[in-house]
Chains A and B, each alone.
Chain A
Amino acid sequence: MPDDWLNDDDRLLAVLADALNDARAVPPGFVEAGKAAYAWRAIDAELAALTYDSAADLELAGVLRADSATLRALTFAGADLTIELELTAEALLGQISPVEAGDVTAYSGPVTDEVSAIGTAVIDELGFFVLRPVPGEPFRLLCRTASGTAVLTGVVSP
C-alpha cells in the first residue's frame, strides 16, 4: 500500500470519502441477492451459461411474437449438456442435447435462504420436456440425465 495518501490528513480523508461512497453506490438488493445465492449450495450440479436469449435480439423477438406461439427462446450451455428452452404462453418447452432421458426440476428463490422446487417434468428419450404452467416467478432449471449428468441453468425471468 503506497503510504503517501496515508500520511496526509486531507488525502486520507479523501480516500475515506471515496471508500464510503463506493460502498454506498452498491444497491442493497445487489448485496442481498448475493447473500441469498448461498442457498443454491444445496444443489450439486454443473452451471450452464446463457449463450442465447431471443429477448436480446429485438428483431427476432418481433418475428417470434408475430409468427409463432414462442414468446422467448433461450439456450444454456454447460460442458456436458446444452439446454434449449422455449417459453410459450401455456408451457415451457425444452430439449437437452446430447439427447438423453432424465428429469427436470424448476426451482424458484431463494427466499429466506431456501430454494424451492416449483415444478418437475420428465425428459423423454428424445431429450424433450414440457413444463406446465410456465413458472410465474424467476426460476432455474435443474436437468438430471439417466447417466448422472446434472446441470443447472442461470435464472430465467419469465
Chain B
Amino acid sequence: MRSDPVVVRLVARACDGDKSAWDELVERYAPLVWSICRRHRLSTADSEDVGQSVWLRLVENLPGLREPAALPGWVATTTQRECLRLLRLGRRIEPVDPLANSKDLADDGRAAVDEDLLLQERRHAVRSAFAGLSERCRRLLSLLVEDPPKPYGEISDAMLMPIGSIGPTRTRCLDKLRAALIGAEFEQTGGGERHAR
C-alpha cells in the first residue's frame, strides 16, 4: 500500500488524544469495514459486532501501530479475521445461496479483501475530491448520478439552470473533480508519478 501522510498524521493525533482525528479515521474506514462484513454476508447485527471489535482493537493498538501508513491493510485484515471468527462461532449468516457454505465464503472473502482495499481507497479519494468541490458542482453531480437517472428537465428545475448549460457545467465540474484527484495523488506521492491527460 502506498503511504498516505494524511493517515499517518491522523493516527498520531488520535494517539495524542485528539477525538476529531479518531472520528476522521472511523469515517474514512467504516465503508471498508462495512463492505468486508457484507462480503462475508453477515447480518446487520453481526456486522455491528464486527465493527465494534475492529474499532476496539484499533483503539487498543493505536499507540503500538508501528507503521501507521499500513493502517488500511491492518483494518482490512482485522475485519476479515473478526468476520471469520463470527462465522466460526456459528452465528447466522443471511440466507443467500444454500450451496454456499461458510468455508467457501471465507475463502472468497480472503481473496477479495485486497481488492476491497484498493477499491475503498479509490472511493475514499473520489469522495474527498468531491467534498472539496463548490456547492454548485456537488449538487449538479449528485443529481447527475441519481439512480434511476433524472431527466435533464428536472435537473434544470432543481438547479435553476438552463438545460443547455447542464452539459458544459457537467464537463467543468468533472474537470475540477479530476484535477482534485490528480492533485491529491501528487501530494501523496510527492509528485513522483506523472499522469497523462
* Chain A interface (Cβ < 8 Å from any Cβ of B): 1, 3, 6-7, 9, 12-13, 15-23, 25-27, 29-31, 33-35, 37-38, 40-41, 46-47, 49-53, 56-57, 113, 154-155
Contact = CB atoms under 8 A, between A and B. Distances in A.
A37 B130 CA distance: 28
B44 A37 contact: no
B89 to A, nearest CB: 5
Interface string B146-159: 01000000000000
Contacts of A1: 122, 125, 181, 185
Nearest to B17: A41
B49 interface: yes
Given A22-B123, A113-B19, A30 B48 contact: yes
Contacts of A16: 126, 130, 141, 145, 177
Given A1-B122, A35-B26, A12 B52 contact: no
B136 to A, nearest CB: 15
Contacts of A17: 145, 147
Counting contact residues on chain B (CB < 8 A from A), the size range is 35 or more
B53 interface: yes
Contact of A13 (B17, B48, B174): B174
B51 interface: yes
Nearest to A41: B59
Contact of A20 (B91, B122, B127): B127
A155 B177 contact: no
B126 A15 contact: yes
Contacts of B60: 40, 46-47
B142 interface: yes
B103 interface: no
B80 interface: no
